[in-house]
Amino acid sequence: MNRLIIIAALLLACLLTTQYVLNNRRESQRKLTSSLRQLPDNSGHKTSSIRQLRLAFGDTIYQYAFTDTWRYPAYHNAFVHADLMKRFIEGVLESDGTIVETDRFRASYYGIDTPNMLV
């Protein structure tokens, strides 16, 4: 009887230790991937030098092109509001960095509950 209790206690200790190690590993990985990362040096990029913008939301891709004005070629070469596109590009180029979050339940905290955007 004592041997069974000792084996059960050792098994419980082993399971609790494994759970602790796995939780710490997952938390350290989450902290690494959820950190604020600096964007590459933007000193050479200016809003006026950007001629094409590609946004990917999962499987959906939006591609904008600048010729004489901003257009969305996939929809009958539709016009895009140049001032809004300029503000968007300036916001991307002047931002401090990116936030990478792998936990989809925390996405609303960053305001990205819809699929992530790639620029």
pLDDT in tens, 11-58: 999 999 999 999 999 888 877 766 555 555 555 677 778 888 888 776
Is pLDDT of 116 > 50? no
Helix (H) or strand (E) holding 38: strand 36-38
Q: What is the DSSP string of 41-107?
A: P-TT--GGG--EEEEEETTEEEEEEESSSEEETTTTTEE--HHHHHHHHHHHHT--EEE----GGGH
More confident residue, 108 or 114: 108
Residues in the chain: 119
Report the pLDDT value the prediction gives residue 98, as an integer from 0 to 100: 62
Per-residue model confidence as pLDDT tens digits over 89-113: 888 777 766 666 666 676 666 665 6
